[in-house]
């Protein structure tokens, strides 16, 4: 059950099928990972000019570092990606940081109040996600020249961690002469929707949040193109799913919260060669 108050906030969600193993995992993640979420990765999507062809002795499977943007059914991420050749496949890994959003979210503007802005009805937490991925890509079509498009099939496991903290809203106080807005933690059970003037500062109540870890996986098709081997543009389309140890407290009504998140995603990344295998 989710409990929302204006101060001393705490969240409690019904446990799933994890049992004592999930409790131990949750304790470890909450104790050791909270400071990680202050890191925000910057993304630059650009393409360098074409380079010369490599010599015949050069292995045509370079190691690549890259940056990318990932748009998911349940939010979006920015991240750092890496691929490295290994026999008939590529080892891949990625670290994504972004926003976790429920597609059922509905934002409204209270036009009866002056200076009001949009807010999400009954959504009582902000949610950020940190997601580590590790997997392998099978090369279906090799890219042998600048004009080629390479195709790969990727399968990865991922370890997501969600950080949820209270949503603050601007609550209008209609007292004559002293009327105005006050930032309070959103509780739909006691706050009249007609007196809400929008969402207050995004970082308010951040220290009152909680970490919720989970696990997941994905499968995807990747298309690769770009200037020959020195820069690689990759477009990925796939399907993934995450399962968390507890229900993520998005909503005021506990039955709307969930701990299983299947999603379709599209990723664009730019990779830069940093070495050759031999």
**CATH for 141:** 2.40.160.20
Query: Is the residue at 125 inside a domain?
Result: yes
Q: Yes or no: say if 260 and 246 are a contact pair by the CB < 8 Å rule.
A: no
Does residue 18 surpass a pLDDT of 60? Answer: no
Bigger pLDDT: 193 vs 142: 193
The number of domains in the chain is 1
Q: Which domain holds residue 76?
A: 19-275
Across the range 155-177, mean pLDDT stands at 94
Query: Is the residue at 246 inside a domain?
Result: yes
Query: Is the residue at 11 inside a domain?
Result: no
Question: Hey, what are 131's tokens?
Answer: 């997601």
Does residue 260 surpass a pLDDT of 90? Answer: yes
Query: Is the residue at 122 inside a domain?
Result: yes
CA distance 22 to 163: 17
Q: State whether residue 92 is helix, strand or coil.
A: strand
Q: State whether residue 239 is helix, strand or coil.
A: strand
Question: DSSP label at 74?
Answer: T
CA distance 83 to 52: 22
| pLDDT for position 215 | 97
Question: DSSP label at 55?
Answer: P
pLDDT class of 239 with cuts at 50, 70, 90: very high
Query: Is the residue at 95 inside a domain?
Result: yes
Query: Is the residue at 124 inside a domain?
Result: yes
| pLDDT for position 20 | 56
Q: Yes or no: say if 145 and 228 are a contact pair by the CB < 8 Å rule.
A: yes
CA distance 90 to 28: 32
Provide the 10 A C-beta neighbour count for residue 43: 16
| pLDDT for position 169 | 96
Q: State whether residue 155 is helix, strand or coil.
A: strand
Q: State whether residue 228 is helix, strand or coil.
A: coil
Alpha helices in 12-113 (DSSP H): 19-32
Q: In 3D, which of 15, 218, 12, 261 has the Cα closest to residue 129?
A: 261
Query: pTM for the full model?
Result: 0.73
Across the range 59-84, mean pLDDT stands at 86
Query: Is the residue at 10 inside a domain?
Result: no
Point out the least confidently predicted range of 20-29, 47-56, 82-91, 130-139: 47-56
Averaged pLDDT score across all residues of the chain: 80
With a CB cutoff of 8 Å and minimum separation 6, the contacts of 189 are 4, 252
Does residue 192 surpass a pLDDT of 90? Answer: yes
CA distance 167 to 249: 11
| pLDDT for position 19 | 57
Percentages helix, strand, coil for the chain (3-state, rounded to 5) are 10, 50, 40
pLDDT class of 243 with cuts at 50, 70, 90: very high
Across the range 260-275, mean pLDDT stands at 89
Q: Yes or no: say if 62 and 273 are a contact pair by the CB < 8 Å rule.
A: yes
Across the range 96-110, mean pLDDT stands at 93
| pLDDT for position 275 | 60
Question: DSSP label at 58?
Answer: S
CA distance 174 to 180: 7
Does residue 144 surpass a pLDDT of 80? Answer: no
Question: Hey, what are 149's tokens?
Answer: 């498009």
Question: Hey, what are 125's tokens?
Answer: 């937490």
Does residue 11 surpass a pLDDT of 90? Answer: no
Across the range 242-262, mean pLDDT stands at 95
CA distance 53 to 278: 17
Query: Is the residue at 3 inside a domain?
Result: no
């Amino acid at each position: 059950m989710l409990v929302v108050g204006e101060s001393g906030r705490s969240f409690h969600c019904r446990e799933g099928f994890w049992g004592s193993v999930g409790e131990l995992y949750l304790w470890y993640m909450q104790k050791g990972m909270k400071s990680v979420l202050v890191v925000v990765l910057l993304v630059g999507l650009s393409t360098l000019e074409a380079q010369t062809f490599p010599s015949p002795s050069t292995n045509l499977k370079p190691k690549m570092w890259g940056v990318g943007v990932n748009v998911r059914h349940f939010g979006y991420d920015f991240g750092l990606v890496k691929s490295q050749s290994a026999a008939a496949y590529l080892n891949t890994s990625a670290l994504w940081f972004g926003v976790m959003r429920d597609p059922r979210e509905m934002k409204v503007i209270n036009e009866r109040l002056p200076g009001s802005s949009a807010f999400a009805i009954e959504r009582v937490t902000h949610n950020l996600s940190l997601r580590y991925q590790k997997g392998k890509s099978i090369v279906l079509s090799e890219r042998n020249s600048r004009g080629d498009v390479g195709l790969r099939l990727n399968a990865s496991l991922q370890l997501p961690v969600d950080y949820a903290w209270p949503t603050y809203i601007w609550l209008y106080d209609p007292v004559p002469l002293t009327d105005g807005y006050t930032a309070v933690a959103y509780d739909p059970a006691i706050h009249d929707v007609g007196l809400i003037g929008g969402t207050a500062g995004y970082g308010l109540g951040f220290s009152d949040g909680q970490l919720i870890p989970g696990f997941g996986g994905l499968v995807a098709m990747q298309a690769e193109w770009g200037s020959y081997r020195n820069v690689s543009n990759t477009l990925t389309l796939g399907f993934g799913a995450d399962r968390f140890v507890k229900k993520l407290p998005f909503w005021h009504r506990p039955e709307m919260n969930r701990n299983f998140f299947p999603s379709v995603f599209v990723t664009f990344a730019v990779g830069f060669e940093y070495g050759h295998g031999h």
